Amino acid sequence: MDTHKHDKVFYITFSVVLGFLLAFTGSIMLIANTLDANEGVDAAARKRIDDRTAPVATVVTDAAALVKVAAPAAARAPMSGADVAAKVCAACHGSGALGAPKEKADWAKRKAAAGGVDGLAKSAIAGKNAMPPRGGDASLSDAEVKSAVEALLKQAGA
Ligand code: HEC
């Protein structure tokens, strides 16, 4: 037997073995696909298994999500002075309830007494007599309270 013939026999044998292995792999994949892993397991049992094998904790790697977890109510878009005045301050200043200044003359007098808008804003931030600090909404920033004062003055024409 010359070496040439020897090689040919080897290649044929090798190809046959390779083909057989490929066919064997393919048939196993086909069989596995036709088997339903959940067959015969009722839904309640399935759920028990899922519950028992569920991870006990999750790892948060997203920094933005972590910030959200730590400070859920932190982010709120700043409100305009007119918005704050309508949503928070109007409860009293719209009607003059509890003696809250409403009319132009009343506002003008207080503005002069407080030394301008900044003084009024300071007073509104701190609260005064029947008026709670920041009109009762602690989430308002100093800037929001000040622009609300400006909006109230503008609405009264003072
Ligand atoms: C619960 C009712 C109430 C709410 C809500 C309220 N106020 Fe007042 N406010 C008053 C009363 C009452 C006064 C008068 C206090 C006094 O002089 O005895 C007053 C007075 C003021 C004054 C004049 C302070 C001064 O030094 O004379 C400003 C400015 C003011 N409020 C701004 C605001 C702003 C801005 C808001 C909304 C963020 C607001 N208020 C919400 C009741 C309220």
Which tens digits make up the pLDDT trace of 10-34? 999 999 999 999 999 999 999 988 8
Q: Show the CA angle centred on residue 150, arms to residues 154 and 90, nearest 5°.
A: 75
Hey, which of 83, 92, 98 would you mutate to test ligand 1's pocket, going by the most ligand atoms within 8 Å of its Cβ?
92
Taking the centre of ligand 1 as the mean of its atom positions, its distance from the CA of residue 146, in whole angstroms, is: 12
User: Taking all residues of the chain, what is their mean pLDDT, rounded to a whole number?
Assistant: 88
Taking the centre of ligand 1 as the mean of its atom positions, its distance from the CA of residue 125, in whole angstroms, is: 9
- pLDDT band for 70, please (50, 70, 90 cuts): low
153 lines ligand 1 (CB under 6 A): no
User: Does the pLDDT of residue 87 top 70, yes or no?
Assistant: yes
User: Does the pLDDT of residue 66 top 80, yes or no?
Assistant: no
Taking CA atoms, 35 is separated from 2, 9, 46, 59, 151, in Å, by 51, 40, 17, 34, 72
